[in-house]
Chain A
Amino acid sequence: MLLALNTSISFVTNTNWQSYAGETTLSFLVQMAGLTVQNFLSAATGIAVLLAVIRGLTRKSTSYIGNFWTDATRSVLYILLPLSLLFAIFLAGQGVVQTFHPYVTATTLNGTEQVIPLGPVSSQIAIKQLGTNGGGFFNANSAHPFENPTPFSNFIEMLAILLIPSSLTFMYGRLIGSGRQGWTIFLVMLTLLLSGLAVSYYSEFNYSKSDGLNLIMEGKEARFGPGNSVLWSVITTSTSNGSVNTMMDSLTPLAGMVGMFNIMLGEVIFGGVGSGMYGMILFIILTVFIAGLMVGRSPEFLGKKIEAFEVRMAIVAILSPNLVILMFSAFGSIITPGISSLNNPGPHGLSEILYCFSSAAGNNGSSFAGLNANTPFYNILTGTGMIIGRFGVMIPLLAIAGNMAEKKITPSSDGTFRTDTWMFGLLLIAVILIVGGLTFFPALSLGPLVEHLLLIK
Chain B
Amino acid sequence: MTLLTGIIYPVLVSAIAYMVFPFKSQGSLIERNGIIIGSELIGQFSDNPKYFWARPSVINYNPLPSGASNLGPLNPVLIERTRKQENDFIQINSTPEGSVIPGEMITASASGLDPHITPEGALLQVNRIVIARGMNMKEKNKIIGLINNMTEERQFSLFGEPRINVFLLNLKLDSLK
Q: Which of A's residues lie within 8 Å of B, judged by CB?
A: 21-24, 32-34, 36-37, 40-41, 73, 76, 81, 84-85, 88-89, 92-101, 104-110, 112, 114-118, 120, 122-124, 126-127, 138-140, 143-146, 149-152, 154-155, 207-208, 210-211, 213-225, 227-229, 244-247, 249-250, 252-253, 343-346, 348, 351, 368-370, 451, 454-455
Contact = CB atoms under 8 A, between A and B. Distances in A.
Given A24-B65, A92-B13, A104 B29 contact: yes
B137 interface: no
A216 B24 CA distance: 31
A76 B69 contact: no
Contacts of A96: 24-25
Nearest to A216: B103
Interface of B: 1-2, 4-7, 9-10, 12-14, 16-18, 20-21, 24-29, 35-48, 51, 55, 61-76, 78-79, 82-83, 86, 101, 103-104, 106-118, 154-156, 159-161, 163, 167, 170-171, 174
A88 B114 CA distance: 22
Contacts of B83: 211, 213
Nearest to A228: B160
Contacts of A126: 13
Contacts of B16: 89, 92
Given A246-B110, A250-B78, 19 more contacts: A36-B10, A89-B16, A92-B21, A99-B26, A104-B27, A107-B35, A107-B36, A110-B51, A117-B64, A139-B67, A140-B68, A144-B111, A152-B155, A214-B106, A221-B109, A223-B161, A225-B161, A344-B71, A345-B76
Contacts of A76: 1, 4-5
A99 to B, nearest CB: 5
Nearest to A229: B110
A111 B107 CA distance: 24
19 contacts: A23-B63, A37-B6, A93-B20, A110-B47, A116-B63, A123-B10, A139-B66, A140-B112, A144-B66, A145-B111, A214-B101, A217-B107, A223-B160, A224-B161, A229-B110, A250-B72, A348-B74, A348-B75, A370-B69
B68 A95 contact: no
Nearest to B44: A108
Contacts of A140: 65-68, 110-113
A217 B97 CA distance: 23
Contacts of B27: 97, 99, 101, 104, 116, 118, 146
A348 B5 CA distance: 40
A75 B44 CA distance: 42
B103 A150 contact: no
Contact of B48 (A105, A109, A152): A109
A128 to B, nearest CB: 13
B86 to A, nearest CB: 7
A399 B74 CA distance: 47
B70 A247 contact: yes
* A73, A117, A207 pick with most chain B CB within 10 angstroms: A117
Contacts of B78: 210, 215, 218, 250
Contacts, number: 321
Nearest to B121: A222
Contacts of A208: 73
Given A123-B14, A144-B113, A92 B6 contact: no
Contact of B9 (A36, A145, A244): A36
B73 A455 contact: yes
B68 A219 contact: yes
Contacts of B43: 145
Contact of B74 (A112, A223, A451): A451
Contacts of B73: 207-208, 210, 215, 218, 250, 252-253, 455
A154 B41 contact: no
B44 A109 contact: yes
Contact of A213 (B5, B10, B82): B82
Contact of A123 (B9, B28, B65): B9
Contact of B39 (A92, A101, A116, A346): A116
Contacts of B114: 145, 221-223
A139 B163 CA distance: 24
B102 to A, nearest CB: 8
A242 to B, nearest CB: 15
Nearest to B39: A116
* A105, A118, A210, A219 pick with most chain B CB within 10 angstroms: A219
* A23, A114, A122 pick with most chain B CB within 10 angstroms: A114
8 residue pairs, one from A and one from B, having the closest CB atoms: A151-B160, A370-B70, A143-B110, A225-B161, A151-B159, A92-B17, A140-B66, A140-B111
